[in-house]
Amino acid sequence: KAGVTQTPRYLIKTRGQQVTLSCSPISGHRSVSWYQQTPGQGLQFLFEYFSETQRNKGNFPGRFSGRQFSNSRSEMNVSTLELGDSALYLCASSAIASTSSTDTQYFGPGTRLTVL
């Protein structure tokens, strides 16, 4: 089975712009979660989608949003980029919603976003 794929792998943007990141889960997986990883804050949970519905959201401003499509692919959008948004954005998929805490999340390689 193919793993979780994320595109693009690298991205450079300037302050004030917006960006959309894409994640394709493992085939058959219906839950997709997004995480932000920075040297200062570590790995932080952004949000989780299951069957096109947001199930959980972390403590991030409204500039961070996401959605999930009927084929379980997910996109994450960050509007009005700030320097502090520079990070590795990781996507993870699991067979069922992680809110049930019964399944393992498998991670993609991440998208490294640099905001200048």
60 contacts another protein (rule: CB under 8 A): no
Q: What is the chain's length?
A: 116
Q: Which is nearer to another protein, 15 or 43 (CB)?
A: 43
- The angle formed by the CA atoms of residues 75, 80 and 49, to the nearest 5 degrees, is 25
**Cβ atoms 33, 47 nearer than 8 A:** yes
CA angle 25, 97, 101 (to 5 degrees): 120
- Residue 107 in contact with another protein, rule: CB under 8 A: yes
Q: Which of 19, 78, 92, 115 binds another protein (CB under 8 A)?
A: 92
Strands 87-94 and 106-107: antiparallel
What track of x and - describes contact with another protein for positions 13 through 52 (by CB under 8 A)?
Answer: --------------------x-x------xxxxxxx----
Binding site for another protein (CB under 8 A): 33, 35, 42-48, 56, 58, 88, 90, 92, 98-102, 104-110, 112
